[in-house]
Structures are given as structure tokens and as C-alpha cells.
Amino acid sequence: MTFISKTPTVGFVSLGCPKAGSDAELILTRLRAEGYEISPSHEESDLVIVNTCGFIEAAVEESLDAIGEALAENGKVIVTGCLGAKGDTVRTAHPSVLAVTGPHALEEVMGHVHRHLPKPHDPYADLVPAQGIRLTPTHFAYLKISEGCNHGCTFCIIPALRGPLVSRPVGDVLAEAENLARAGVREILVIAQDTSAYGVDLKYRTHFWGGRPVKTRLKELCEALSSFGIWVRLHYVYPYPSVDDVIPLMAEGKILPYLDVPFQHASPRILQAMKRPASAENMLERIAKWREICPEIVIRSTFITGFPGETDADFEQLIQFLEEARLDRVGAFAYSPVDGARANDLPGLPPETVREDRRRWLMQVQEDISADKLAAKIDSVIEVLVDEVDEEGTIARSQADAPEIDGLVYLDGHFAAAPGDFLQVRVVDADHHDLYAEPVGQGRVNA
Ligand code: SF4
């Protein structure tokens, strides 16, 4: 009689931000490296891992629901991610889960997997692509350079969930980026809780990449990443003077002229109450300096309206800042209390309707600025990266657009293109967020 042993199969659900997605990719990569199958179906899996988010109340509920669903459909569930770090929340709601870990806990998660679903005897590690298993489309990828955060913003519980800053050695980061570029990734999105702090904990120690010494510091990392000839985009950067060092790399075309700087507010009083990093910097002066060094720089930011203590005058100051700064891309959130955050103890929380009205007003102001800035691009030739091609047309992004959070470039006409292609296009129209264009050439502009 022949026995056919079934390959141990793991179901996987990942919720939350790109940083959580990056943790998920590490776990999936290790699972495949050890020979486990990954299945989209809870019923067909031997156990399910749920990677949770615990940032705001809605995310907590979504995570608890996902765990409940996995328990109902499979019964064997390991929970990891930010919600796992929040005391007994998971065990109180779902006492039957097999194990709970916090975020960034690859070894711990794998330990629980091995305990409940022994790994196959002879794993074929070479079945795993060198770039690992990715949750993003094949042409762009997030590159997490550090974990944790040394700041103490009063609205945020990430330092409590993820611990202090731990930078990855630059050699490891570059080896991962190199594998991604070799595998066809055309855009790398550099992420961390605070990208500008990269290497501070390691005192900018020198590591080696391809036999060459490289300092564990943002500027040196960006220089090295630029050698792959693909788009490199920086997210979650704070306006420290040291960031000025990477702007010339943007001016020279080595990395994208794009900076995602979460300013969150413009009133010094509110920034102080938020305890934001670099809150004492004069932001308008710093932006002016960046534009002087790299006139085409695109600045993206996020803001919170209705933070505890925000008065009409504070909000007016924020609007004035937006009108003067004329940022390219802006997202706004009405303040929502996060369980465990110190801001909950601050007095003067504006009513929910005021918080939301201010958010809408801010977005209205920004929409006009955005429409003006995009209209100025009409008739210019820009470089885009194709994201999607189907029977309805081709959708791409310009250097000014990060995936999922910024605008799109809709392409008209008949031409051959596939996701991951670089095209040169002429902009023919614009609205508040997106551009409309027609292709004029293949490949990168000035490549
Ligand atoms: S910088 Fe502030 S908002 Fe960002 S992770 Fe650190 S504490 Fe949270």
C-alpha cells in the first residue's frame, strides 16, 4: 500500500499597514523555505496565521473578526502582529487560539507553527524565489529598513507595540533590495516607522555589501539603492536637518524626487501636545530649502484634525500653512482616540462633528491646490510606471504617485504595455488627483 503524505498547508491573513505587510512577507518566505504550502482557503489549510493590526478601534475589530472567521472555518489559529502586543485583547475575545505573538516576531511565530504543524521532512528551499514571497504585485515592493520607534507621539501606541528603534544592517537591506531588482521589481518603497532615524541605534555602523563598506545611514543607503537603476521612493521621513543630505540625490535623479513627510499639524502648540519629532523645525523654511535644492521635489504629507486642545485659531494656522506650503499630496484624518494612547488624557477634545468638518475643510483647500499643481503638468512629457493593463485601458503612476495612496495616470490610445513597464507619456488633461496622458515612447526619460 502506498501512503501519500499531504504537504503541511498554512492559511494566511494579513491586515494593516505596509510595515505589517513586510512582517507577513518574512513569515511567508520562511514558511515556503521550510516546505509548507500556503493556501488562500481556511478550510483546506492545516492551520491559519492571522497577522493583525491594532492601531485604531476599527482595525482592532477587523482583526478580531478575521480571527473569529479563521477559528470558525479552520479551528487552529496562530495570531501575530500589533494586536497581539495589546495585552489580553485577543485571548479575551478568542480564548481558543493556539498562540498569540506581537509584531516582528518571525522566530516566535515559526516556533508555534513547528509545535502545531511539524515541518515537512525534506524542504526544497530552492523552490523559494530569492526575493522571498511578496504580497505586492511583482513590479513594486516595500523595503523595511528598521523596526520600532524612539519617539513618543502622544496619539500613537506603536513604540509600546513594536519597541524602540532597531535598524537592519545596511548589508542585509541592500542584499534584499538587490534580489528584488533582479527579480524584476521596478520600484522600491523604503519604509520604517521613522525612516530618517535609520542607523541611529547602530551609531551609523559600517557594514559590507558586495565587499564594499557602507554606513548604516539613510544617505548611504539611498546612494547604494540608486545603483539598481529603478525607482526608489522614501516614506515616513521627518523634517530633520539631516534629511537635507538626501535631497541632492533626488536632484541628481538617483532616487525619486518624492518625500513622504507626515507633518500632522502646523500649530506649534498642537505639535508640542502631539510630541512630534522635529516639531521645533520651521517647516516652511525647510520645505523652501528642499525646493531650492530640488525644484521638482514632490512632498506628500498627512494631517490630523481635531486633536485634543485644537482651537479654531490652531486649525486656521494649519490651513494657512497648507496654503503657503502648497504640498503636492495630502491625506487627512479626523482625530480618533487610540486605546492606550497618552493623548486620551489631554483636555479639550473637539466634538466628533467638528473634527470631521475640519478634515473635510482641509481636504477641500488641498483639492484646489492639487488641481492647480496637476493642471500645470498638462503638455509636459513625464515618466510613468505601468500598474495595470486590461480591456478598459492602461493605468500607470508618475514619479509623484506612490501606490495606493496617491493619484494615477490614465493612458489613452493603442500600444503594447505590461505592468512594470516604464513609458514616456505626454500629459493631456488633469483633474483634482489624477492625470490623463498618451504614450510617446518606451523606457525611462533620460535613461
Ligand atoms: S514617530 Fe510618532 S507616530 Fe510615528 S511611530 Fe513613532 S511614535 Fe508613532
Q: Is the Cβ–Cβ distance between 11 and 70 less than 8 Å?
A: yes
Annotate 408-445 with b (16+ C-beta within 10 A) or e (fewer).
bbbbeeeeebebbbbbbbebeebeeebbbbebeeeebb
Residue 192 CA to ligand 1 center (angstroms) comes to: 10
* Mean pLDDT of the 301-307 span: 96
pLDDT by residue (tens digit) across 378-427? 999 999 999 998 888 899 999 999 998 999 999 987 778 889 999 999 99
* Mean pLDDT of the 194-215 span: 91
Greatest Cα pair distance, the chain, in angstroms, is: 81
- What single-letter DSSP state applies at residue 388? E
Name which residue leads in pLDDT, 74 or 121: 74
Instruction: State whether the beta carbon of 153 lies less than 6 angstroms from ligand 1.
Output: yes
Instruction: State whether the beta carbon of 165 lies less than 6 angstroms from ligand 1.
Output: no
pLDDT at 226: 96
Name which residue leads in pLDDT, 242 or 323: 323
Of 58-62, 228-232, 334-338, 400-404, which gets the smallest average pLDDT? Answer: 58-62
* Mean pLDDT of the 1-14 span: 70
Q: Is the Cβ–Cβ distance between 50 and 67 less than 8 Å?
A: yes
Nearest CA-CA partner of 110 in 10, 5, 6, 7: 10
pLDDT at 446: 57
Position 354 confidence tier, pLDDT thresholds 50, 70, 90 = very high
* Mean pLDDT of the 284-311 span: 95
| Ligand 1 closest atom vs CA 162 | 5
* Mean pLDDT of the 150-177 span: 90
Residue 289 CA to ligand 1 center (angstroms) comes to: 25
Annotate 235-246 with b (16+ C-beta within 10 A) or e (fewer).
bbbbbbeebeeb
Position 136 confidence tier, pLDDT thresholds 50, 70, 90 = low
**If you take atom 4 of ligand 1, which residue's CA is the nearest one?**
193
Distances, alpha carbon 310 to alpha carbons 267, 306, 319, 350, 428, in Å: 9, 6, 13, 7, 42
Instruction: State whether the beta carbon of 159 lies less than 6 angstroms from ligand 1.
Output: yes
Position 290 confidence tier, pLDDT thresholds 50, 70, 90 = very high
Instruction: State whether the beta carbon of 197 lies less than 6 angstroms from ligand 1.
Output: no
Position 40 confidence tier, pLDDT thresholds 50, 70, 90 = confident
* Residue 114, SS3 per DSSP: helix
Please check the confidence at residue 29 and state whether its pLDDT lies above 80.
yes
Residue with cell 547602530: 202
Annotate 320-356 with b (16+ C-beta within 10 A) or e (fewer).
ebbeebebbbbbbebbeebeebebeeeeebbeeebbe
- Cα–chain center distance at 234: 10
Please check the confidence at residue 240 and state whether its pLDDT lies above 90.
no
Of 231-240, 289-298, 319-328, 410-419, which gets the smallest average pLDDT? Answer: 410-419
Please check the confidence at residue 124 and state whether its pLDDT lies above 60.
no
Name which residue leads in pLDDT, 20 or 394: 394
Mean pLDDT of the chain: 89
Measured from the Cβ of residue 361, the count of other Cβ atoms closer than 10 Å reads 15
Residue 150 CA to ligand 1 center (angstroms) comes to: 8
Instruction: State whether the beta carbon of 277 lies less than 6 angstroms from ligand 1.
Output: yes
User: Residue 212 and residue 196: Cα distance in Å, rounded?
Assistant: 23
Instruction: State whether the beta carbon of 341 lies less than 6 angstroms from ligand 1.
Output: no
Residue 86 CA to ligand 1 center (angstroms) comes to: 17
Please check the confidence at residue 215 and state whether its pLDDT lies above 80.
yes
Residue 305 CA to ligand 1 center (angstroms) comes to: 17
- What single-letter DSSP state applies at residue 119? P
Annotate 94-111 with b (16+ C-beta within 10 A) or e (fewer).
beebbbbbbbbbeebbbe
Residue 22 CA to ligand 1 center (angstroms) comes to: 18
All residues at 6 or more sequence positions from 364 whose CB lies less than 8 Å from its CB, including other chains: none
Cell readout for 357 is: 468638518
**If you take atom 8 of ligand 1, which residue's CA is the nearest one?**
156
Please check the confidence at residue 106 and state whether its pLDDT lies above 90.
no
Residue with cell 532597531: 166
pLDDT at 125: 44
Q: Is the Cβ–Cβ distance between 102 and 71 less than 8 Å?
A: no
Residue 59 CA to ligand 1 center (angstroms) comes to: 17
* Mean pLDDT of the 150-161 span: 88
pLDDT at 316: 97
Please check the confidence at residue 109 and state whether its pLDDT lies above 80.
yes
- Residue 25 main-chain phi, psi, to 5 deg: -60, -40
Cα Rg, the chain, nearest whole Å: 23
Position 122 confidence tier, pLDDT thresholds 50, 70, 90 = low
* Mean pLDDT of the 231-254 span: 92
Instruction: State whether the beta carbon of 147 lies less than 6 angstroms from ligand 1.
Output: no
Distances, alpha carbon 362 to alpha carbons 270, 313, 318, 336, 433, in Å: 16, 14, 8, 17, 15
H-only helix segments in 329-408: 352-375
Instruction: State whether the beta carbon of 278 lies less than 6 angstroms from ligand 1.
Output: no
Residue 262 CA to ligand 1 center (angstroms) comes to: 10
Name which residue leads in pLDDT, 290 or 18: 290
Cell readout for 199 is: 542607523
pLDDT at 132: 64
**If you take atom 5 of ligand 1, which residue's CA is the nearest one?**
193
**If you take atom 2 of ligand 1, which residue's CA is the nearest one?**
153
Instruction: State whether the beta carbon of 156 lies less than 6 angstroms from ligand 1.
Output: yes
pLDDT at 39: 87
Pocket-testing residue among 19, 56, 156, 276, ligand 1, by greatest number of atoms within 8 A of Cβ = 156
Position 157 confidence tier, pLDDT thresholds 50, 70, 90 = confident
Percent of the chain with pLDDT over 90: 62
